[in-house]
Copies of this chain bind each other. A is one copy, B any other.
Amino acid sequence: MSDPSWTPEAEGDATLEDNWLFRLRRERFRSRASGKVHDYYVLRLADAVNVVAITADRRLVLVRQFRAGSGRDSLETPGGLLNTGEDPLAAGARELLEETGYAGSPPRWLGKVWSNPSLLSSRITTILIEDARPVASTAFDDHEELTIEQVPEAAIPSMIEDGRIDHALVVQGLLAWMAWRDGRLRFDRGEESSATIG
């Protein structure tokens, strides 16, 4: 990987907000090419995991919950933020269990991307857990209020088309899973990748 085209400046940074969820920073960088200086906004928050969980009879386990950014309830794959140092595969199985009470096969890695690197410092890993089945009661975080919905695998494309599923990171994970399932994307390096995430 080549060096970034902009480099951090020693001065000019500021923390604008710091709370339990994120730290908002203004960070100054200088262009190697032009010498120009620009203050970027970066919201520093934990990495996340997205869980495509599917039952033995090929139904996806989804959760519906309120999202303040849209002001609406959103139908999504289970998931959440990683604890410090937590492996995304382990975190995904934990989040699935906490949010839905489901568990299944050992997680399979389906890629890791930057959530929105123009603004956010976080990455999101998608994992697949097959043979998902209810094994426990749910253990929501304090303000989480979720409802669980099962959707037949074959219904997912039309739900993306008509916007019943419309969270970009969820759609990204579902499209990656479908492409992998149909042999159009390969995610072979999952184990080594997850081992280096730390």
Number of copies: 2
Query: A184 with B178: in contact, given A70-B114, A167-B113 (CB under 8 Å)?
Result: yes
The answer to the question of A31 belonging to the interface, with a C-beta cut-off of 8 Å to chain B, is: yes
Contact A176 B171 (CB under 8 A): yes
Asked if B171 and A113 sit within 8 Å, CB to CB, the answer is yes
Q: A24-B17, A157-B185 are in contact. Are A121 and B70 (CB under 8 A)?
A: yes
- A interface residues, tally (CB under 8 Å): 69
Write the residues of chain A forming the contact surface with B, with a CB cutoff of 8 angstroms. 1-2, 4-6, 8, 16-17, 19, 21-22, 24, 27, 29, 31, 33-34, 36, 38, 40-43, 65-74, 111-122, 124, 143, 145, 157, 160-163, 166-169, 171-172, 175-176, 178-179, 182, 184-187, 189
New A-B contacts (4) at CB < 8 Å, excluding given A17-B24, A43-B119, A69-B122? A6-B68, A69-B114, A72-B117, A161-B187
